[in-house]
Amino acid sequence: MTGSTGFIGLGAIGRPMAVHVAGVPGTVVWNRTAERAREFAQETGATPAGSIRELVEAVETVITCLPTSAEVMEVARAAEGAWRAGQLLVDATSGDPAGSREVAAFLAEAGVGFVDAPVSGGTDGARAGTLTVMLGGDEPWVTRARAVVAPYAGKVEHVGPIGAAHALKAVNNALLAVNIQAAAEGLAALVQCGVKAEVALEVINASSGRSNVTENLFPERVVTRAFPRTFRLALLDKDLGVALKVLEETGVRSGSIRTTREAFARARAALGEEVDHVEFVKTVEEASGVEIR
Ligand code: NDP
């Protein structure tokens, strides 16, 4: 039994996740830009809350899907005094382990449980309800969180204590970013050598250098020049920062992740907060004077 659920953060991935949650009667939603919550409620039958506090008072479980752990803490504090013992916060944000432990400690004072529950699979996976969900936390909260995330999950894995799921998600996304940078540099060079990008990708994807980046992102988004905006570069830059912090805290020396973090930070400064993560490729193209197509 999970009781009623409140969903906070109807952004690019939060919204399609919340659509599945709203399939369960009694779902309440809140979004900073209230118009988005009203429009969502009209479409799905969920109830829009007038404030974070109102949402927390109305439900047993809260799901957050916000940019960083800092906003999750803001939300937790906004309902200070309204949290009740036995409630659970399931945080789908790609947050940071230390930030999660702080949120968990704050909620624990009111007897509220916390599970970090970041997702992978992108906006397509969210729409399909097939996201991979990593859970960090203690029993019995984790068992309850499994039921809460089930409407949008294809795979659910309990990976360790509070913060462990956020660490894993950050490392996964660091690998994504390293792959984007390496593929962009390699393909820019191959195009200069006279190899068509499509041909290069076909060969790489039948060889040992293939990855999700070469199999899906480059053919669908770069070669086509479509560059859809599904996951902001600024958020991937944030994930690289979290991954670096995890490496630092564990005493692991970083080479490639650090280099990629520097490149993504430069791209973020040059391209702004709204561009998609794959648009990073444009910075490599510009620097090398070639289009990857
Ligand atoms: P978006 O930037 O599209 O949405 C962010 C959401 O957070 C919006 O609902 C926004 O409200 C809200 N928000 C921002 N700042 C605040 C604040 N100070 N207080 C309250 N609400 C706030 O992000 P995504 O939906 O893409 O990402 C959400 C999380 O999921 C991130 O941690 C991201 O890294 C992760 N993620 C994203 C994926 C993707 O493919 N997009 C894939 C996997 C993980 P408003 O509508 O008012 O702007």
Q: What is the 3-state secondary structure (H, E, C) of 55-70?
A: HHHHCCEEEECCCCHH
17, 149 in Cβ contact below 8 A? no
C-alpha 100/C-alpha 116 separation (Å) is 7
Query: What's the pLDDT score for residue 205?
Result: 98
Which two tokens mark 251?
């005493």
176, 212 in Cβ contact below 8 A? yes
C-alpha 256/C-alpha 72 separation (Å) is 30
Region class of 35: left (phi > 0), else alpha (psi between -120 and 50), else beta: alpha
Question: Distance, CA 20 to ligand 1 centroid (Å)?
Answer: 17
Residue 236 CA: nearest ligand 1 atom is 34
> pLDDT tens digits, residue range 251-280?
999 999 999 999 999 999 999 999 999 999
Nearest Cα to Cα of residue 169 among 262, 70, 238: 238
CA–chain centroid gap for 162, Å, is 17
Answer yes or no: is pLDDT of 200 > 80.
yes
Query: What's the pLDDT score for residue 191?
Result: 98
C-alpha 117/C-alpha 141 separation (Å) is 12
Task: Let me know how long the chain is.
Answer: 293
- Pick from 221, 235, 274 the residue to mutate for probing ligand 1's pocket: most ligand atoms within 8 Å of its CB: 235
Determine the angle formed by the axes of helices 164-192 and 280-288, rounding to 10 degrees.
30
Residue 97: which pLDDT band, with cuts at 50, 70 and 90?
very high
Q: β-pairing, 131-136 with 119-120? A: antiparallel
Is the CB of 232 inside a 6 Å radius of any atom of ligand 1?
yes
Question: Distance, CA 222 to ligand 1 centroid (Å)?
Answer: 24
Mean of pLDDT values over 37-54: 97
Which residue, judged by its Cα, is nearest atom 6 of ligand 1?
Answer: 11
Residue 218: which pLDDT band, with cuts at 50, 70 and 90?
very high
Query: What's the pLDDT score for residue 2?
Result: 61
Q: β-pairing, 88-91 with 113-116? A: parallel
Residue 198: which pLDDT band, with cuts at 50, 70 and 90?
very high
Query: What's the pLDDT score for residue 229?
Result: 97
Mean of pLDDT values over 66-76: 98
Phi, psi angles (nearest 5°) of residue 137: 160, -170
Nearest Cα to Cα of residue 63 among 117, 137, 136, 127: 117
Percent of the chain with pLDDT over 90: 99
